[in-house]
A and B are shown apart, each in its own frame.
Chain A
Amino acid sequence: MNALTIFAIGLGTAFLLGLLGERQKSLGYMLTLAALTFMSAVSASWLVVFAATGADSFDIFTAGTAPPFAINLRMGLIEAALTLLINLTGLFAAMHMGDALLRLGQRAMAVLIIAIMALCGIVLTRDIFNLFVFFELIVIATAGLVLLSDDDSALAAGFKYLIVSQFISALLLVGIIFAYHATGTLNIDGMAEAAAAIDPSVSGAFAIAFFLMFIAVVAELKPFPANGWALDMYEAAHPGFSAVFSAASGTAALYAVDKLLQIGGTDWLPVATGIGIVTFVGANLLALPQTNDRRLLGYSSIAQTGLILTVLGQQDIFGDDYFFIAGGLLFAHALAKAGLYWLSALVAGRTLPDWAALQSRPLLVFAFISCVAMLSGLPPFPSFYAKWELAHLLVAEGRSGLLALILFGALVEAGYLFRWFGYLIKRATPAESIACPAHQLLPIAAAVLGGWALGFVWGELSSSYFGRTNLLLTLPLFFALTFLLLDWLPAWVKNTLAIGGMVAFFSLTYAEYDPLRLIFAVIFLIGGAVTLLASYHAHGRRIGFYPAAMLMYAGMIMLIRASDSFGFFAAWELLTVGSYFLILRGKHSEPHALSYIVFSLGGAFLILAGFALAASAVPPAPTFEIAQLADLVQPVAPWVFLLLALGFMTKTAAIGVHIWLPGAHAEAETDVSPMVSGILLKAGLYGLFVLLMNMGKQSLYGVELTYVMLWIGAITALLGNLMAIFQEDAKRLLAYSSIGQMGYALFGLALMNHLGWLMALMFVINHYIYKSMLFLSVGGVAKRTGTREMFKMGGLITLMPLSFIATLIGIIAVSGVPPLSGFGGRWIFYNAILTADARLPMVLIFLSGPIAFLYLFRLIHTIFLGQLKDEHRRLKEAPFWIILPQMIYVALLMVVAVVPGMVLRHVDAYISQFFPDGALNWEGSTITSQFGYWNPVAIMIIVGVIFMLLFGWLLFVNRRAQKVKQFNFVFSAERPFRPETTHFAWNFFAPYRKAMGFLVQPFVTRFWAAVTDLLHTAADITRRLYNGNGQTYAFHFLLFVVAVFTFRMGM
């Protein structure tokens, strides 16, 4: 079908609508929908043709004459896709705004159709003046459609928009006429040819003419900071229309800029890049302090458009990937923004927390988070694939600075989007439920499903052109996403499915792993399954839990299985996102989940940059295998190492980037804490293992980076432990303890010798077991007592004996006291440091060891020993399903304690390929190193025998011992007043704080708080530019023009 049908239908319907009578509104509305459907069908049919046949684009001539004497249009794959996007946006917007359109009548409908038609025109036309006409049509249509809004301020917003549009059109017109004068044609392609061959004497004049056209079209992208008028539009317009304004207008304007850049040539690309990146970063920063949802979305739209403009400006280095990248970003942005604007219509209030209204509708929550994920470039959406290629190409061309700015902007954006998601999930729901008429839901569903579908398409493109994986086709992710569809099932069914799936996947694949990976695979899959046993305690449906948990586990197992950097990074993001959803489920975890996701995404960006840098240093190949890290040489290698190590250390919560951990782990649900602590933290360690295995020692400016890591590990171990002893909250205490433990593991890895690594692995295993166990038992206690504050508990040993036993075994294991498994780790540690080169950091590790006793004792004492409180006298043991995994862990700990060799000797042999020296000797039950020896079986027996002998003796001599009541003890011959006054628990280590408290001042927290404050303050100051006055905005625009001109001339 001829593409001109789009215009024929558009204009025809618009006129027809005008002919309809006042009373035939419904008919008009039907006509409108039909027209837009038809226009979409035209685009869709062309898209199918181009995609299926791979045909070249072709020109459509009008007036029977070839250009430049008549206007011509072009239809191709890109145009078909873009017009389809525009038409569909129009169609769904019309559907969404049905009420408003019917109220205002046929004229409004006609204006909408004209707007959509004109947007298609911008995409299709190859004539510059025609472009101008379409732009003006859009101005008029937009100004008309703003009036659809119920918002009073829409009027003023529309007027401001018109003011600036007048300036823009004047510039555009003057630019066009001079460009015509210089080149003799109005045809874009002709102008591009003429511009390339232009006479030097007029090239200056042409440059100015081009500048005027260019800046006018760029202004349609609402570049920062000349965009106050657009923001008012976004905020005040009907959300149905804002979607069009953001998704469709932005798309068309971007394509127009692309056309202009063909005329301008490569000289103008840096200008586009500059404007784009300033817009991206600036708009994202300004979005940070926004409180109005639609205005925030407006800022985000502007930012995303800026990002795509940056990509347009970088097209010289993208080659064939240009449309893959730009398209991925553009479609993700358009669909997400349209979806979010349409969602905003369902929400009554206009502040961000008002979105909590969506809570009661899981599908809407899913829609929201899908949109947020699309905007943040998370897998498996098109923007993720685009982000990956973008980063690689930028770094390959040495434009790392630009990448850094992009990633910074993206992080800020993810920050406010996820903060918003946090509000949505956690804030109080308004009393009245939200109305969800079908005609408003359908557009949202279309946007969201479209996003997922495009994720698949981009995955296919990525796999056929770049040889990467289509993430949606990987089994683990597919399995995880299946739970979205199964979420209506009761929790126990889903739990069984989840456990079954994980165990099945492990049993199918375990033969594929080397010993090191096998350990991680066991912890992730089998360990995950054991932890999931605890989830049987949950009743009801537990909406949202299983997709999130499975997403995390899918990411983790994909991480181990990934052989190339892309798969690794995708898995990393998946596990990050999955765990974020899990953490966010906690009752008070909103701010903590946010800081988790921001730090994690920051870390992920570092990893992305690291991989991009690494790939740029090896011969170009479709994929960069992880093993190729080993081939890197100076000067790139240490930087890659630095970026990746920092990224991984964010996940292991090394000191400095640890502040997300305590809150995130402590506030998580009872069965989530062990997952994110016991299991998830290991992903970071796995990353470090992989990094060190492949890259070994690296030095930067003469500083050996592993040595720095050694210090970081030691400081983390010390401060983590120190902070743990001052916690009143049991789960926070455990969380800080995890920081310390990860410090140990990091330290072991950074020792860069055989035993150091073995010790790190031992920590991987042990920490999984005892931290999962402790979090479960403490979580069970907290569930029963209703508090996590330890001083409010006490004396629970008789009421919750099994929890007590688990905790007891746990703390003995953590502290490293023989005969339990923690000792193995300590023993290997001492042997490891004897061969290490660096000695000073050991001092810190030595100090942190005994400190662990302090918090461990506090944990068990204040909860289980001491005085039982009156309100707890009737408590029961924790639920069976929470106890069961704990008992499994107790058994596991015993096994690991007695026969550590079962697991470790294989890894020991495996590590020998990296460090031949220092392997342990595993003969019989004695484990021998070059310095010492250790026989876990003998230790267990000896200690057991001595203990039983003495116990027997005491039983014999003390057989008459009488059990006495709680307050029956020597107390100056008085009876204590109350358990609360007698239970010594609060501020337990006061003297220690006096002596060592200076080490645990919250410097790091203050630092990051200052950083975020700085960003907010900067944004707030800049916001004052937007004083709401239309004239000021016009003035901004003119200043912007002058600034860009100066920049261009100075280039």
Chain B
Amino acid sequence: MAYIAMATGFLLVLIGFYGALTQRNLLRMIVAFTIADSGVNIVIVAIGYMRGRTAPILDATVSAAEAVQRIIDPVPQALVLTAIVIGVGITALMLAYAYRLYERKHTLDIAKLTDLQG
């Protein structure tokens, strides 16, 4: 299960990268990055997953004493939360950029935004 998740994650990353490198439309590129981000997040979660264990929540079913044996590693999950937040932030920023670029240059084609070179 974990391997499937990880493989899916990597596949998504590759799809995202491929899209970001081949799509010339800014919005499509942003979407591609979102896909890659999701892929990364899946990979992270997949790494933290351990077979047969439960969610890392200390409550009635899992006591603090036996937590180490019963729960999966909580750290990647925590990380993924942060990563998602950051991903959202950057995606928002890129969208804002795309908007401003379209406003100024009336194009969303990355290949036309080459006024600085060399």
Contact = CB atoms under 8 A, between A and B. Distances in A.
Question: CB–CB under 8 A between A and B in the complex?
Answer: yes
B33 A166 contact: yes
A1029 B93 contact: no
A897 interface: no
Contacts, number: 121
A1047 interface: no
A173 B26 contact: no
B118 A1026 contact: yes
A156 B75 contact: no
Contacts of A1038: 17, 21
A231 interface: yes
B115 A177 contact: no
A181 B79 CA distance: 13
A159 interface: yes
Interface string A160-174: 101101110110011
Contacts of A969: none
B56 to A, nearest CB: 13
Interface in A1016-1051: 1023-1024, 1026-1031, 1034-1035, 1038
Nearest to B23: A1031
A133 interface: yes
Given A170-B13, A236-B116, A1030-B113, A165 B90 contact: yes
Contacts of B100: 147, 155
Contacts of B24: 1031
Contacts of A163: 20, 29, 33
A129 B79 contact: yes
Interface in B1-45: 13, 16-17, 20-22, 24, 26, 29, 33, 36-37, 40, 43-44
B40 A1029 contact: no
Contacts of A1023: 117-118
Contacts of B82: 129, 133
Given A143-B97, A162-B97, A181-B47, A174 B40 contact: yes
Contacts of A174: 13, 40, 43
Given A140-B93, A163-B29, A170-B36, A1029 B13 contact: no
B97 A157 contact: no
A155 B26 CA distance: 13
Nearest to A1034: B21
Contacts of A160: 113
Interface string A129-169: 10001001001100110010000110111111011011101
A133 B76 CA distance: 14
Contact of A1028 (B33, B79, B104, B117): B117
A178 B114 CA distance: 37
Interface string B56-80: 0000000000000000000110010
A290 interface: yes
Contacts of B89: 136, 140
A180 interface: yes
Contacts of B20: 163, 166-167, 1031, 1034
Nearest to A68: B75
Contacts of A332: none
Contacts of A139: 90
A173 B40 contact: yes
A162 B116 contact: no
Nearest to B33: A166
A858 B21 CA distance: 70
Nearest to B114: A1028
Interface residues of A, number: 49
Contact of B111 (A289, A1031, A1035): A1031
Contacts of A177: 43-44, 47, 76, 79
A561 to B, nearest CB: 48
B86 A133 contact: yes
B118 A143 contact: no
B55 interface: no
Interface string A280-319: 0000000001100001000000000000000000000000
Contact of B90 (A136, A290, A1034): A136
A560 interface: no
A1031 B33 contact: no
A147 B103 CA distance: 14
Contacts of A169: 86, 90
> A133, A159, A166, A1027: which has the most chain B beta carbons within 10 Å?
A166
Interface in B84-118: 86, 89-90, 93-94, 97-98, 100-101, 104-105, 110-111, 113-118
Contacts of B37: 166, 170
A159 B97 contact: yes
Contacts of B111: 1029, 1031
Contacts of A908: none
Nearest to A133: B82
B98 A159 contact: yes
A235 interface: yes
Given A158-B97, A163-B20, A180 B75 contact: yes
A159 B113 contact: yes
Contact of B116 (A133, A156, A178): A156
B93 A1035 contact: no
A425 to B, nearest CB: 26
A236 to B, nearest CB: 6
A340 interface: no
A140 B47 CA distance: 27
A617 interface: no
Nearest to B39: A170
A25 B79 CA distance: 37
Interface in A96-155: 129, 133, 136, 139-140, 143-144, 147, 152-153, 155
Given A140-B89, A167-B17, A181-B47, A162 B79 contact: no
A136 B21 CA distance: 21
A344 to B, nearest CB: 16
A156 B101 contact: yes
Contacts of A79: none
A176 B13 CA distance: 16
Nearest to B16: A170
A751 to B, nearest CB: 53
B115 A156 contact: yes
A186 interface: yes
Contacts of B101: 155-156, 159
Given A156-B101, A159-B26, A159-B113, A173 B44 contact: yes
A232 interface: yes
Contacts of A129: 79, 82
A1024 B118 CA distance: 6
A162 B90 contact: yes
Nearest to A146: B97
Contacts of B118: 289-290, 295, 1023-1024, 1026
A236 B117 CA distance: 11
A160 B98 CA distance: 11
15 contacts: A129-B79, A139-B90, A152-B104, A155-B97, A155-B100, A157-B116, A159-B94, A166-B90, A170-B13, A170-B40, A174-B40, A176-B79, A177-B47, A1031-B110, A1031-B111
Given A169-B86, A173-B83, 19 more contacts: A133-B86, A152-B104, A153-B115, A153-B116, A155-B97, A155-B101, A155-B104, A156-B116, A163-B20, A166-B36, A166-B37, A177-B44, A180-B47, A1026-B118, A1027-B114, A1028-B114, A1028-B116, A1034-B21, A1038-B21
What 5 A-B pairs come out closest when comparing CB atoms? A1028-B114, A156-B113, A1028-B117, A232-B116, A1023-B118
